[in-house]
Amino acid sequence: STHVNEISNIVKNVENLPVEDLNKSTAINKETLTSTLINQNELVKNKYIIQLQNMDAPSKRYIAATEIVNSKQIDKEVVDALTACLNNDPNTNVRLAALESLSIFYKEPLVKKRLIESLNKQTDPIVKMTLIDVLTKLRANNLQKELDKIINDVHAPKHVKDQTNQSIHTLSL
């Protein structure tokens, strides 16, 4: 509501200016408005990052993982927070939400890199199979090498290996 008041004041100030002062004032107010919006986005992003780390409430972590993308800002801090959630959260649904949010920004090189790295860290078969599926759809670089590791892993569950074989076949087409 503070930001709404600031924006309302800017509009009122512009309406009362003589025409010759309007261009100068508009430039200043655009700067103020841009700065206010950037600060507001930063606050929203930080709120979600803090919620991702709230180990007392899986529901808050899930909401943060799904809504952090609404800030439309993908920077190293957001990628790190979502990756940490994907790799370490005790709740499968929260890890899947983090994966979904990261996959929205798949064109970012850092996101692709982190998703590939995450493949080796996944112990939950559901998350691992979903990650394999996402990376296959994205046709991520270096995926074949990681898929070969899974096929050769004697401890990998059969259904994970089946998903991996299916992805290898899809990538070969």
Which residues does the chain have with pLDDT short of 70?
1-41, 71-73
Residue 109's nearest CA partner among 140, 84, 131, 83 is 140
- Check residue 142 and give its pLDDT: 81
- Check residue 42 and give its pLDDT: 74
- Check residue 24 and give its pLDDT: 54
DSSP state, residue 70: G
- Check residue 160 and give its pLDDT: 92
pLDDT for 131-149, tens place per residue? 999 999 888 778 888 899 9
Q: What is the pTM of this model?
A: 0.72
- Check residue 13 and give its pLDDT: 53
Q: What 3-state DSSP class applies to 167?
A: helix
Max CA separation in the chain (angstroms): 78
Element (H, E) at 2: helix 2-15
- Check residue 14 and give its pLDDT: 45
Looking at 16-154, list the stretches that DSSP marks H as alpha helix, in order from N- to C-terminal side.
Answer: 19-52, 58-67, 76-88, 92-104, 109-121, 125-138, 143-152
